[in-house]
Amino acid sequence: MEEIAPWQIWLAAIVTLGIYSYLISDNKLYRLLLNVMIGLGVGYNFIIMWKQVLQPLWWEPMTRGFAAVFNGFAPGSAGALWVLVGLLGTLWYFQFSRKYLWLSRIVIGMTLGAGAGVVFKQQLLMNMPQIADSFRPLIARADGTPLVGGSDAPLSLWMSLNNIIFVGTIVCVMVYFFFSFEHKWAPVRHTARLGRWLLMVSFGAFFGNTVMTRMAVFLERLQFLLMDWLRVG
Amino acid sequence: MEWLARLQSIDRRWIYAAIWVACALPFVVNIKLPVYVSPETRRLYEFIEKCPPGKVILVDSAWDAGSQGENWGQVEVVFEHLLRKRIPFIITSVEITPLGPQFADQVIERLVREKFPDRKYGVDWVNLGYTKGSWQAMQQIAKDIRQQYKKDSRGYSLDDAEHLPLMQRVRNIEDIYLIYSVTYSPLEDWIPFIHGVYGTPIAFGCAGIQSTTYYRYLLSGQLVGMLVGVRGAAEYDALLHPNLRDRNSMGTKLIVPQAFGHLVIIVAVILGNIGYFAARRRKG
């Protein structure tokens, strides 16, 4: 990898400070840099998409297929059928035409059909182990197996407490989400209220992690400004 | 009480300034703090330690400038581990960002230049570049990697034994020991379509904000490990380098300023609450 030239570091520092100028107030430099960044991203994505995805996986097999067809249907002629995939993809663009909008519905229908089938498999394989994992012994051995019919591991109070909290939380939160009847009966009401509090705890964890992530984004830039640009520290 | 009530309306720019100063301090004055290694980080480290010979690790490095504060450190430490143990690995970026492979190149080339000058591209690692398609690409990689990638990011054919000897022994998912997906928010499709179907172990390196939703996969065993934000990177660096002075990864560099920044936020939250209760008491 080539060393980064000083002018590149200066440019990056000016752009970084220009973006951070938004913290003081919205301004023209910030908006200019934002537009430049979006333009660069779109341009780069377009080139990479062509060079690393469409060209090797679609264009090259298709052109080789046509070459074989024009060569008297030599082996590999089937590659020319890739043109159909391109035509199908083109149907998306009829979204922009009121007259031929119906053509885009063909490809939308195919996408929805495939998506529905895949989601079924995805949800099953992703969530079934979760559901199975929810059934935990309340009195557990150190390796998580139940006291009766489990392994030879010793009884673990810590593991048991862990499982009681885990199962208790699931039950409380599920009761909170029973909306089909009013929570009048005291045990249901109290369980639902506890479920709400437990949800609040999880939202707190989300918020704390959000702060951590935002801070990391800022720190990486601060490190660049102080160590690479100003050469402090 | 009047001044206490004003605490809840501090100009946000003062808070920004305080965060700038607090976070900059550890960069100027070299401060290092010990790191407690969490179980999810240790599990990933130990899993990689057990990689049998002949297997490779697939690193889905799908991150760019937007999340490099967290993801740079997460790939840096794992790459260092793999290069140190000479476990071959393949880099790609599935679906999320075309810039991912380029950023991974920057990380690995710095590591090779500074620590592992004898490691070679094509032998110890290969960068296959970006590919489109989430679950479709994953299934194709699992069945036949050559159906999804014709060339690597440098333009060599995957069948080019001279430049890519590593790829000559990688055909499909059976050759892959672990898939490590590093991005702001890793694609959950790895879990059902690869772990669920083929049983291949999966690990994530993710932004802290996303980690809350992924912990359930650790509990159920669908993930073998996870690096969470800067913390995860610093913890992994601690496992790689037990001596505090030997650590110099991005995660270790950012973890102390992050602690200082968090302190400012905690103080700001406390002050805001004092202001809130003071204002409520004043109203009666």
Question: Using one digit for the tens of pLDDT, what is the confidence trace for A103-138?
Answer: 999 999 999 999 999 999 999 999 999 999 999 999
| Chain B residues 20-59 with CB within 8 Å of chain A | 20, 23-24, 27-30
pLDDT, residue B142, reads 96
For B125, residues 6+ apart whose C-beta sits below 8 A from its C-beta are B79, B82, B83, B88, B89, B90, B91, B108, B119, B166
pLDDT, residue A232, reads 85
Overall domain count for chain B: 2
Neighbours of A161 (CB within 10 A): 12
Last-in-domain residue among A70, A96, A122: A96
Question: Using one digit for the tens of pLDDT, what is the confidence trace for B142-154?
Answer: 999 999 999 999 9
B85 min Cα distance to partner chain A (Å):
23
In a domain, A156, yes or no: yes
In a domain, A123, yes or no: no
Q: Which residue has the tokens 């669908």?
A: B222
Q: Inter-chain contact A216–B229, Cβ cutoff 8 Å? A: yes
Measured at the CA of B107, the angle between CA B105 and CA B111, to 5 degrees, comes to 110
Distance, CA of A31 to chain centre: 27
End-to-end CA distance of chain A: 24
Mean pLDDT score across all residues of chain B: 94
Q: What is the ipTM of this complex?
A: 0.87
Please check whether residues B167 and B214 belong to one and the same domain.
yes
End-to-end CA distance of chain B: 12
pLDDT, residue A128, reads 93
Judge whether A132 is closer than 8 Å to chain B, CB to CB.
Answer: yes
Please check whether residues B207 and B271 belong to one and the same domain.
no
Residues A159 and A140: beta-carbon distance below 8 Å: yes
Mean pLDDT to the nearest integer, B21-39 = 90
B-chain residues near A49 (CB < 8 A): 98, 132
In a domain, A2, yes or no: no
| Chain A residues 14-53 with CB within 8 Å of chain B | 23-24, 44-45, 48-49, 52-53
Mean pLDDT to the nearest integer, A73-91 = 93
CATH number at residue B159: 3.40.50
Please check whether residues A83 and A165 belong to one and the same domain.
no
| Chain B residues 4-23 with CB within 8 Å of chain A | 13, 16, 19-20, 23
Please check whether residues B75 and B214 belong to one and the same domain.
yes
Q: What percent of chain B has pLDDT over 70?
A: 99
B-chain residues near A52 (CB < 8 A): 98, 129-131, 153
Q: How far apart are CA B141 and CA B146, in angstroms?
A: 8
Whole-model pTM? 0.90
User: Which member of B98, B192, B211 has the closest CB to residue A121?
Assistant: B192
Please check whether residues B102 and B222 belong to one and the same domain.
yes
Please check whether residues B72 and B199 belong to one and the same domain.
yes
Which chain A residue's Cα is nearest to B113? A1
Which two three-digit tokens encode residue B139? 């299934």
Judge whether A55 is closer than 8 Å to chain B, CB to CB.
Answer: no
Q: Which residue has the tokens 């249901």?
A: A188
For A166, residues 6+ apart whose C-beta sits below 8 A from its C-beta are A134, A136
Handedness of CA B143, B101, B210, B263 (dihedral sign): positive
Please check whether residues B45 and B157 belong to one and the same domain.
yes
Please check whether residues A158 and A231 belong to one and the same domain.
yes
Please check whether residues B179 and B204 belong to one and the same domain.
yes
In a domain, A20, yes or no: yes
Question: Using one digit for the tens of pLDDT, what is the confidence trace for B104-158?
Answer: 999 999 999 999 999 999 999 999 999 998 899 999 999 999 999 999 999 999 9
Please check whether residues A142 and A90 belong to one and the same domain.
no
Question: Using one digit for the tens of pLDDT, what is the confidence trace for A24-46?
Answer: 889 999 999 999 999 999 999 99
In a domain, A233, yes or no: yes
| Chain B residues 187-246 with CB within 8 Å of chain A | 188-189, 191-193, 196-197, 207-212, 216, 219-222, 228-231
A-chain residues near B205 (CB < 8 A): none
Please check whether residues B86 and B190 belong to one and the same domain.
yes
In a domain, A70, yes or no: yes
Overall domain count for chain A: 2
Please check whether residues B182 and B225 belong to one and the same domain.
yes
Residue A51 belongs to domain spanning: 7-96
Please check whether residues B183 and B76 belong to one and the same domain.
yes
A-chain residues near B129 (CB < 8 A): 48, 52
| Chain B residues 141-180 with CB within 8 Å of chain A | 148-151, 153
pLDDT(B236) > 60: yes
SS3 B115: coil
B185 min Cα distance to partner chain A (Å):
12
Last-in-domain residue among A49, A71, A96: A96
Please check whether residues A11 and A81 belong to one and the same domain.
yes
Last-in-domain residue among A96, A121, A154: A96
Burial class (CB in 10 A: 0-12, 13-18, 19+), B223: buried
pLDDT, residue A148, reads 86
Q: How far apart are CA A85 and CA A108, in angstroms?
A: 14
Please check whether residues B2 and B88 belong to one and the same domain.
no
Q: Inter-chain contact B196–A227, Cβ cutoff 8 Å? A: no
In a domain, A182, yes or no: yes
Please check whether residues A143 and A229 belong to one and the same domain.
yes
Q: Inter-chain contact B220–A133, Cβ cutoff 8 Å? A: yes
In a domain, A169, yes or no: yes
Mean pLDDT to the nearest integer, B243-272 = 92
pLDDT, residue A2, reads 59
Residue B269 belongs to domain spanning: 1-32+250-284
Please check whether residues B93 and B27 belong to one and the same domain.
no
